[in-house]
Structure 1
Amino acid sequence: MNLFVFGLGFTARRFAERERARFSTIRATVTDADKARAIEAETGLTMRAFGPEADDPQIPADLSDTDVLLVSIPPDRAGDPVLRRFGEAIANSRIGWIGYLSTIGVYGDRQGAWTDEDTPALPRSERSLARLTVEDAWLALGTIAGKPVQVFRLSGIYGPGRNPFVKLREGKAQRIVKADQVFNRIHVDDIATTLAASLERPRAGAVYNVTDDEPAPPQVVTEHAAALAGLPLPPAVDFETADLSPMARSFYGENKRVRNRLIREELGVDLAYPTYREGLAALKDDA
């Protein structure tokens, strides 16, 4: 069984590394040829360039020899670059499982209310609206081509090298306080576990929330991380005066509590890190 990954970022790479023994061949893309060569030398994976300025000519042949396709590339201004350039090749291939990594941002602002897969998606930001449009496009391809397409809506991803300890040690952490604000999170290994479980139980048209059990205020998570690592706690900063990028500030404009019931009941997923406490405990020595 062969795997092809469009967009070997933090999450997709963790999945490929953890599930490597499952696949005979793993091929994946990054945005340019130099980066592809560097990652191939480091990991032994077969890497291709796929970006605004480059399509490796081997990609069509790769897709014809693929059984499992994972798509981890965000939309661009024109929509989904994978569907635009390779949708026909994917539809006509032997691929038997397609996973699209999306975001819980498609639910928009729920003013702190609990949200599950039956909650209507009402994205507020242009970024999340584009995600929902691409979700629908992938699901439509699955229907037309008769292939099981699964959408995975991810919450805030953390794991080795990407967690509060790293920012605390670098002096870049902020303890931002906004009344009643909560976020869900998900450890990257729990995402990999969910994808692997879906491979065993494919369901055409499935949409899954991939998130932890306990949405929590961001400052509480920072405080817990600092206490675990014995690191100085950054001063509290009011959200209204915090120095945030426009994208970071936009995340605080949405407030919801997201349930993960479906991955448990349908896929049998047992989260290794059901809350930030277990996740941070496993990462406390991470630099």
Structure 2
Amino acid sequence: MTNKLFCFGLGFSARLVADQLREEGWKIAGTTRTAEKAKQLAADGIEPFIFSDDQPISDIKAALDGVTHVLISAPPGGLGDPVIHHHGGDLAILPEGTWIGYLSTTGVYGDRQGADVTEDDELLPSGKRGRRRVAAEKAWFDLGRRHGLCVQSLRLAGIYGPGRNALETVRSGRARRIVKPGQVFSRIHVEDIAQTVLASIKQPNCGAAYNVCDDDAAPPQDVIAHACGLLGIDPPPEQDFDSATLSPMAASFYDDNKRVSNTRIKEELGVKLRYPDYRAGLMALYDEILAKLEAKDEIVE
């Protein structure tokens, strides 16, 4: 039997998982918000369905036909988790043991004032987004227990990768070095997210939560400075957090300060990070940028 993955949301992380499994011969189906994007998914070999917080899938029976695995990357909103809200009952009748991966966030832990945090620690979210994630995780685990589905939560740190990283921020002129003493963030390259999800699929542990982050929680200003060094330009001046002008959304990211442990994905899933810290990740991305620029030069010549 051919495995089939259904993705509720095909964004930056889920799309890479889907593409890698499609290369292995899996069937892939998933959701997007617009008809235009649905056409693009179909052109890429992915069976598309329209779905949003206020628009359930019109033919959910067809969407879930033959599905063996489900990946959820759609974030919770005012109604809670939109997938459970609209289609929890539909998923409940999937075959017992069906793998369901929920892409959550390390924001569920809240602020630990720079201390270490593991999957066994209490969930103490700082803000509304974190509280919604905790509620969504609980809803998914409850659904799994009630209906014999193999639910796992993958708690992602700050995501970066091609087109979405400090190098691109610097190149676009948007980089700032905001300094809040003692502040660190955990990060994860999108390729390491994908390999962790695939490892979870191959070694399912029903009811487990996994922190998905690299080995080196670091101050954000250091990452920007390193990106500037790779690009050979002077870094922007440091700005004190207390006096910096930030949007409420940007400022909220500084509410939490913690060092997230990734020991469990290494010991239980056998994950060997391709990019164990931001330096390795940015260097690989820098090489990709150089290759693209050189290719453009060759085309022009």
**Structure 1: which amino acid aligns with 2:66?**
D
Name the counterpart of 2:109. 107
Name the counterpart of 2:118. 116
Alignment of 1:124-163 (within 5 A): 124-163=126-165
Q: Gapped runs of 5+ residues in structure 1?
A: none
Q: d(CA) in 2 for partners of 1:247 and 1:286?
A: 30
**Structure 2: which amino acid aligns with 1:195?**
V
Q: d(CA) in 2 for partners of 1:208 and 1:286?
A: 29
Name the counterpart of 1:175. 177
Q: d(CA) in 1 for partners of 2:53 and 2:188?
A: 30
How far off is 1:219 after superposition? 0.4
Stretch moving more, 224-233 or 248-257: 224-233
CA contact (8 A) 2:117 2:259 kept: yes
When residues 36 and 231 of structure 1 are mapped into structure 2, their CA distance, relative to the original with a 3 A threshold, is: farther
Q: d(CA) in 1 for partners of 2:57 and 2:261?
A: 39
Q: d(CA) in 1 for partners of 2:65 and 2:189?
A: 32
How far off is 1:233 after superposition? 1.3
How far off is 1:23 after superposition? 4.3
Pick the aligned partner of 1:2 from 1, 4, 15: 4
Q: d(CA) in 2 for partners of 1:113 and 1:247?
A: 23
CA contact (8 A) 1:106 1:131 kept: yes
1:146-196: CA deviation from partner (whole Å, max 9, x where unpaired): 111000000000000100111111101111111000000000000000000
**Structure 2: which amino acid aligns with 1:226?**
C
Name the counterpart of 1:191. 193
CA contact (8 A) 2:49 2:63 kept: no
How far off is 1:30 after superposition? 1.1
1:230-277: CA deviation from partner (whole Å, max 9, x where unpaired): 133122111122232211101101100000000000000000001111
Q: Gapped runs of 5+ residues in structure 2?
A: 290-301
Name the counterpart of 1:62. 63
When residues 51 and 15 of structure 1 are mapped into structure 2, their CA distance, relative to the original with a 3 A threshold, is: same
CA contact (8 A) 1:169 1:231 kept: no
1:126-151: CA deviation from partner (whole Å, max 9, x where unpaired): 11001000100000111111111000
Name the counterpart of 1:51. 52
How far off is 1:40 after superposition? 2.8
Pick the aligned partner of 1:239 from 241, 244, 261: 241
When residues 23 and 245 of structure 1 are mapped into structure 2, their CA distance, relative to the original with a 3 A threshold, is: farther
Q: What secondary structure is seen at the aligned counterpart in 1 of 2:36? A: helix
Q: d(CA) in 1 for partners of 2:104 and 2:263?
A: 17
Q: Which runs of 4+ in 1 moved over 6 A?
A: none
State the TM-score, normalized to the length of structure 1.
0.96
1:281 matches 2:283 = yes
CA contact (8 A) 2:60 2:90 kept: no
CA contact (8 A) 1:221 1:276 kept: yes
Q: d(CA) in 1 for partners of 2:84 and 2:54?
A: 16
Q: What secondary structure is seen at the aligned counterpart in 2 of 1:64? A: coil
| Percent identity of equivalent pairs | 50
Q: What secondary structure is seen at the aligned counterpart in 1 of 2:178? A: strand
**Structure 2: which amino acid aligns with 1:48?**
F
**How big is the alpha-carbon RMSD for the aligned residues of Structure 1 and Structure 2?**
1.4
How far off is 1:33 after superposition? 1.9
Pick the aligned partner of 1:221 from 220, 223, 226: 223
Name the counterpart of 1:16. 18
Stretch moving more, 142-151 or 90-99: 90-99
Q: d(CA) in 2 for partners of 1:53 and 1:107?
A: 28
Instruction: Kindly name which structure, 1 or 2, has the bigger radius of gyration based on alpha carbons.
Output: 2
Q: What secondary structure is seen at the aligned counterpart in 1 of 2:38? A: helix
Q: d(CA) in 2 for partners of 1:187 and 1:130?
A: 24
Name the counterpart of 1:80. 81
CA contact (8 A) 1:142 1:149 kept: yes
**Structure 2: which amino acid aligns with 1:81?**
P
When residues 23 and 76 of structure 1 are mapped into structure 2, their CA distance, relative to the original with a 3 A threshold, is: farther
State the TM-score, normalized to the length of structure 2.
0.92
**Structure 1: which amino acid aligns with 2:220?**
P
1:77-128: CA deviation from partner (whole Å, max 9, x where unpaired): 0111101111111110137100000000010000000000111110110110
How far off is 1:38 after superposition? 3.0
